[in-house]
Homo-oligomer: A and B are copies of this chain.
């Protein structure tokens, strides 16, 4: 159990008498123990100056933890009655943003507390600032991703499909020391690269195709996430080169302005302005980036609507893209870490135009 993190979370939770977390990642962040309860209820109840209480189905083995009260229940128990003795009808309680309706509605209807508000931002904001140990793991996960990218590109050969490439990725990560991949990898050839959510299918690579890899691994619980766009057997024509250079410039210029105290929306704007001035604004259809850590998408956006300031220890992606099916779909993504006086780009795989399959 990490008491420092717990008090950081409680300090973030102003106006709440208690906080009920249910996200296994949030609970793991505070207890150092990942519990995957499936469809069963899992809750960590936090209150100032009281011992945290973990509500856990007795099916899941759990070793005693100093300073933590564990309340076990079984499948035949009525959850409301399990919770009632520990709740207070006078409370304003923060609940986890992901707490499902099947648990939340009974809490509300049985008046276990006076009022529920979405409160998990208290833990989300703590998680957004990585400590030294977390930074090291983020660096290592991205280092593996750099090494992996150098291998992935060699998998693309005449006759091979996106799916056949994607299938080989998990093993390569494991051989490089990662525990797993961190999200369903995108391998996209040709026009498919112009769909930012494309899933690998039976499309076979052909000369002149863009080859986009959006991939990441998990190292000791921490995620990497990087995108590179290659060209198969033939370099880009002028129009393609123009798009590629715009995306690269958007990526690099956005990274350059990062230091503590910058509005995240301004980082988005830096990249977006470059692409817009280049004439492709409407084809950059998503936010510039997302926060990342033990989950690939954590609380925190690099987008026009997210006006929070960067803090030392933030880790997020910078991933501009242009999706123009008739010319090119292209995205270039790094993870970055905000340092005391600037930025550390966690990915070092080159961004020069690279022709593969030769």
Copies of this chain, tallied across the complex: 2
Q: Across the interface, which residues of B come within 8 angstroms of A98, CB to CB?
A: 100-102
Q: Does A33 sit at the interface, judged by CB under 8 A? A: no
Q: Does A99 sit at the interface, judged by CB under 8 A? A: yes
Q: Given A97-B100, A101-B97, is A59 in contact with B118 using a C-beta cutoff of 8 Å?
A: no
Interface size, chain A (Cβ < 8 Å): 35
Q: Does A105 sit at the interface, judged by CB under 8 A? A: yes
Q: Does A333 sit at the interface, judged by CB under 8 A? A: no
Q: Does A88 sit at the interface, judged by CB under 8 A? A: no
Pick out which of these stretches binds chain B: A154-162, A297-305, A348-356. Answer: A297-305
Q: Does A104 sit at the interface, judged by CB under 8 A? A: yes
A residues 82-122 in Cβ contact with B at 8 Å = 95-102, 104-105, 108, 116-118
Bound-complex Cα distance A287 to B74 (A) = 11
Partner of A286, one of B59, B170, B196: B59
Nearest CB in chain B: distance from A13 CB, A: 15
Chain A contact residues: helix, strand, loop or mixed: loop
Whether the Cβ atoms of B297 and A39 lie closer than 8 Å is yes
Nearest CB in chain B: distance from A301 CB, A: 8
Q: Does A15 sit at the interface, judged by CB under 8 A? A: no
Nearest CB in chain B: distance from A23 CB, A: 10
Interface 0/1 of A149-193, CB less than 8 Å to B: 000000000000000000100110010000000000000000000
Q: Does A38 sit at the interface, judged by CB under 8 A? A: yes
Whether the Cβ atoms of B97 and A118 lie closer than 8 Å is no
Partner of A197, one of B59, B117, B167, B297: B59
Q: Given A98-B100, A167-B174, A195-B61, is A75 in contact with B105 using a C-beta cutoff of 8 Å?
A: no
Bound-complex Cα distance A100 to B61 (A) = 26
Bound-complex Cα distance A104 to B285 (A) = 27
